Structure 1
Amino acid sequence: MSQVPPQGPGPMPGPPGPGGWGKPPMSPSEERTWGSAAHWSAFVAAFVALAFLGPLLVLLLKGNEEAYVRRQAVESLNFQISMLIYAVVSGVLVLVLVGLLLLVVVGLAWVVFTLIGTIRSTNGEEYRYPLTLRLIS
């Protein structure tokens, strides 16, 4: 009677490739979809007053799979955090009345630049937001 060696889990896969651990790389269409989701998800998350949650979720879910998606998610996340900081500072400045105007400007800039980022990333272009503090890399 011969003994059969114990069966282990098999060979461990190598380091993740472009598609992550054992995943095929994303198609260009999927890259653009997830890249734009990093931007437009901020509008969805804004309904709970935390617009940075949308890009953060995209970064956590798909950021390690494709470099383009990661770059767009990080860019959008940095912009959303920057706008939150600007809005809080403007809210404090409401006490000296200048904050009312600043809140309007920050709100308009948030809508306009987030829309531009969504459109550009849907077209597969790199987009860098203006007025952004680069807190996350």
Structure 2
Amino acid sequence: MSEPLSKHEKNLSAAIHASTFSRFFVPFGNLLLPLVLWLANKNDSPFVDYNGKQALNFQISLILYSVVLGALSIPFFFGFFPELFNHGFMGWGDWGHFNGPNFNFDWDDFPFRRIWPLGFAGLIPVALFIVNVVYTILATLRTNEGQTFKYPITINFIK
């Protein structure tokens, strides 16, 4: 049987998970601070080593998902906005010499069919943010109790 975890190991593992919230204060703090804590203490305890890898893999995975989903939303963004300014539904092409712009909306031509992907693409980062906050709090609480925690949707970059 393995020896019980010390309070220091539990607290350090919880601190590694909680340190990912440093992203709100330091750019890339969600990677830097857990990486420093993990590298400094990974040889002291297998529990700390496991939790450091979990926290870093989860943060790297979320960054990767954000980049990929952001890149996938670019065609929707550029597919909508050229119509907005190039004689689209706002009538920018109808400028008269003395009349000024024509701001009459033609609701029949309004491109709702192209707005829904923008709305969907805007919800994805919100969902990733909520997943990040919820699972980081759960991981912090569980590791502080001495339990192992495995994040969902995580790619194991660090093994």
Q: Same fold (TM over 0.5)?
A: yes
Residue of structure 1 in register with 2:136 after alignment:
114
2:41 corresponds to which letter in structure 1? K
More helix per residue: 2
Residue of structure 2 in register with 1:86 after alignment:
65
Shift of 1:37: 1.1
- 5+ residue gaps, structure 2, are 77-117
**Higher mean Cα deviation, 93-102 or 49-58?**
93-102
2:35 to 22, 33, 56: 56
- 5+ residue gaps, structure 1, are 1-26
Residue of structure 2 in register with 1:68 after alignment:
47
TM-score (norm 2): 0.65
Whichever of the two has the greater Rg, that structure is 2
Q: Per chain length, whose mean CA-contact separation is higher, i.e. which structure has more relative contact order (CA < 8 Å, sep 6+)?
A: 2
2:25 to 43, 47, 50: 47
C-alpha distance in 1 between matches for 2:31 and 2:43:
18
Partner of 1:52: helix, strand, or coil?
helix
C-alpha distance in 1 between matches for 2:72 and 2:49:
34
2:49 corresponds to which letter in structure 1? R
Partner of 1:55: helix, strand, or coil?
helix
- Contact 1:92 1:99 survives alignment (8 Å): no
For these two proteins, the number of residue pairs brought into alignment is: 111
C-alpha distance in 2 between matches for 1:46 and 1:63:
25
Shift of 1:46: 4.1
Match runs of 1:95-134 below 5 Å:
95=74, 96=76, 97=118, 98-134=120-156
- Give the percent of matched residue pairs that are identical in Structure 1 and Structure 2: 33
2:48 corresponds to which letter in structure 1? V
- With over 3 angstroms needed to count, the CA separation of the structure-2 counterparts of 1:72 and 1:32, relative to structure 1, is same
Shift of 1:82: 0.4
Partner of 1:72: helix, strand, or coil?
helix
1:38 to 5, 16, 19: 16
Q: What is the CA deviation profile of residues 11-69 of structure 1, one whole-angstrom value per residue up to 9, with x for unaligned ones?
A: xxxxxxxxxxxxxxxx7100001110110010024422311212211111111111100
